[in-house]
């Protein structure tokens, strides 16, 4: 009898609340540019999909210097594109926090790089090259 009542209560809870009571919070980062490689002339943008209502971000460069951006509202579709203004070149670790009602509910990390544009027409006269060691033996 108790088992049947428990199943009935669980069934009623699922009927009224749906699967939302079992949903997990998430934040997923995508790429706007292949490999998250941006030129200094590009706008650094990171697309975000989340169950939160706002996101915050911190980009930390190779030397450990952090840059924290503003809190950004997420659209009704759960998507937002972060525009990162860093003002410098380099390799960066990015941490994005999804917030709901001001509380962190999920975190995601990725890396990206900001480089100066290069003139590929001078590649034949470059002093730099690439070599592998896989061809040995």
| pLDDT tens per residue across span 50-71 | 999 999 999 999 999 999 999 9
Stretch 14-25: mean pLDDT, rounded?
57
Domains of the chain: which residue ranges? 23-117
**Contact of 68 with 38, CB cutoff 8 Å:** no
pLDDT at 5: 47
The residue among 7 and 37 whose pLDDT is bigger is 37
Q: How confident is the model at residue 135 (pLDDT cuts 50, 70, 90)?
A: low
Mean pLDDT, the chain, whole residue set: 84
Q: State the greatest distance between any 2 C-alpha atoms of the chain, in Å, as a whole number.
A: 85
Q: pLDDT band at residue 130, thresholds of 50, 70 and 90?
A: confident
Give pTM, 2 decimals.
0.73
Strands 66-68 and 44-50: unpaired
User: Higher-confidence residue: 112 or 135?
Assistant: 112
Fold designation for 23-117? Immunoglobulin-like (2.60.40)
Q: How far apart are CA 75 and CA 27, in angstroms?
A: 13
Q: Which of the two residues, 57 and 18, has the higher pLDDT score?
A: 57
């Amino acid at each position: 009898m108790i088992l049947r009542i428990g199943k009935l209560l669980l069934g009623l809870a699922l009927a009224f609340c749906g699967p939302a009571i079992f949903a997990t919070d998430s934040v997923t980062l995508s790429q706007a540019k292949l490999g998250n490689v941006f030129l200094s002339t590009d706008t650094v943008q990171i697309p975000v999909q989340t169950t939160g209502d706002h996101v915050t971000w911190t980009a930390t460069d190779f030397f450990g210097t952090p840059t924290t951006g503003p809190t950004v509202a997420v659209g009704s579709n759960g998507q937002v594109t972060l525009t990162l203004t860093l003002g410098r070149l380099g390799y960066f670790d990015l941490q994005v926090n999804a917030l709901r009602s001001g509380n962190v509910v999920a975190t995601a990390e990725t890396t990206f790089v900001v480089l100066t544009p290069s003139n590929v027409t001078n590649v034949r006269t470059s002093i730099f090259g690439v070599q592998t060691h896989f061809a040995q033996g």
